[in-house]
């Protein structure tokens, strides 16, 4: 019993110490300095939530915009400093966001009244510092290092971000990208990405249709017919249309 009482007293003392420490901890969001876009009378809680929104919306940490070291207490940061360019860019982006919401989104009510969805950092950035679409990432790598490197980038991004909202890995994303590549004359890369999508979505009619069209454009008749036939299996209603494509290919090779 004595040991139990001693343990209880110890736990109470530890709890009291924690509460006292928390009470004495500096509120880094209280009395902010050097605010130029956010309201100067913004409350501590609202400022804290705003900063969390910035961080999660862009996938960044406090030290990205503010002067301070990673993984150190926030009360060691110099939040008032404007030394980091990212902070200056953030102000510009926040002004843009406010203008969109206050002017353009609000003007929609002049056309039709309704409940409006405000634009936020995450609307465009989707948890990434730069609001690039998957197509932007792939185009950059294609231009820099070619199709094989771009395919590797796609696979790595899909492995890392699949299930998040950062990039679009849905069924239609790669076929549409492949068609855009084909329109630019980059047929080899287009076939690569269309083929990947048939592996990712083996039940996708449109993926096999696009791959068949690309193979046909490259003169790969057997591969095109095979993909058209798979598309027919997946979407029997398209059979008359697709069989016309197959007959045309067969006739060209007679």
* Assigned token pair, 95: 């002004």
Domain boundaries, the chain: 26-125, 134-253
- How distant, in Å, are the alpha carbons of 30, 72, 79 from that of 75? 11, 9, 9
Greater confidence (150 vs 20) lies with: 150
The pLDDT value given to residue 2: 47
Report which of residues 10 and 18 the model is more confident about: 10
Whether residue 20 is predicted with pLDDT greater than 70 in this model: the reply is no
Task: Give the predicted TM-score (pTM) of the model.
Answer: 0.81
Q: Write the burial class of residue 63 (CB in 10 Å: 0-12 exposed, 13-18 middle, 19+ buried).
A: middle
Confidence of residue 35 (pLDDT cuts 50, 70, 90): very high
Residue-wise pLDDT for 160-214, tens only, equals 999 999 999 999 999 999 999 999 999 999 999 999 999 999 999 999 999 999 9
15 vs 240: which has the higher pLDDT: 240
Confidence of residue 10 (pLDDT cuts 50, 70, 90): low
Question: What's the pLDDT band for 254 if we cut at 50, 70, 90?
Answer: low
Do residues 162 and 152 touch, judged by C-beta distance below 8 A?
no
7: pLDDT strictly greater than 70 = no
Residue of higher predicted confidence among 117 and 6 = 117
Burial of residue 22 (CB within 10 Å: 0-12, 13-18, 19+) is exposed
CATH of 134-253, one of 1.10.540.10, 1.25.40.10, 2.40.37.10, 1.20.1630.10: 1.25.40.10
Is the pLDDT at 8 greater than 70, yes or no? no
């Amino acid at each position: 019993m004595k040991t139990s009482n001693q343990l209880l007293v110890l736990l109470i003392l530890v709890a009291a110490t924690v509460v006292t420490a928390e009470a004495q901890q500096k509120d880094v969001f209280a009395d902010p300095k050097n605010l130029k876009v956010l309201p100067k009378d913004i409350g501590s809680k609202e400022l804290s939530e705003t900063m969390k929104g910035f961080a999660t919306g862009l996938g960044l940490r406090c030290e990205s915009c503010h002067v301070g070291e990673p993984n150190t207490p926030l009360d060691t940061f110099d939040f008032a400093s404007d030394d980091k360019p990212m902070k200056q860019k953030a102000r510009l982006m926040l002004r843009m966001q406010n203008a969109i919401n206050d002017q353009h989104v609000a003007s929609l009510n002049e056309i039709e009244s309704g409940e409006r969805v405000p634009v936020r950092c995450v609307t465009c950035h989707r948890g990434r510092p730069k609001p690039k679409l998957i197509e932007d990432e792939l185009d950059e790598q294609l231009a820099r290092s070619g199709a094989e490197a771009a395919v590797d980038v796609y696979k790595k991004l899909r492995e890392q971000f699949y299930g998040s909202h950062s990039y679009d890995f849905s069924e239609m994303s790669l076929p549409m990208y492949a068609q855009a590549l084909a329109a630019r004359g980059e047929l080899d890369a287009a076939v690569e990405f269309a083929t990947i999508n048939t592996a990712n979505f083996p039940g996708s009619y449109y993926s096999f249709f696009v791959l068949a069209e690309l193979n046909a454009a490259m003169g790969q008749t057997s591969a095109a017919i095979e993909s058209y036939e798979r598309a027919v299996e997946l979407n029997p209603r398209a059979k008359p249309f697709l069989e016309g494509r197959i007959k045309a290919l067969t006739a060209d090779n007679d």
